[in-house]
Amino acid sequence: MSNIKFSSSETEQLVTKIQGYFAKELDQDLGQFDAEFLLGFFSKEVGAYFYNRGLFDAQTIIVAKLEHVSEMVEEGINEIEKPVS
């Protein structure tokens, strides 16, 4: 699987969230190195699943919006269509 790259600011925020989770939910202190290692593991091993789900969700929304636009275009064309005899 691919390894998703984060900016240094994003990495810092994610590491803080991982450390907070371990402290709150598991009552364990997790050092910065260990949290970064864990982040790297998850981004490499499961990151693509989350990325692909995001793409699927975006595609679903875009298709729905395009169908709506297509209906509006069809209605607009029907409104200006000239009668034929």
**Nearest residue to 44 (alpha-carbon basis) of 10, 2, 14, 5:** 2
pLDDT at 5: 85
Residue 2 has pLDDT above 70, yes or no: no
Paired tokens of 13:
């925020």
Q: 38: exposed, middle or buried (C-beta count within 10 Å: 0-12, 13-18, 19+)?
A: middle
Place of tokens 């975006």: 58
Model confidence band, residue 4 (pLDDT cutoffs 50, 70, 90): confident
Cβ neighbours, 10 Å, residue 46: 12
Q: 22: exposed, middle or buried (C-beta count within 10 Å: 0-12, 13-18, 19+)?
A: middle
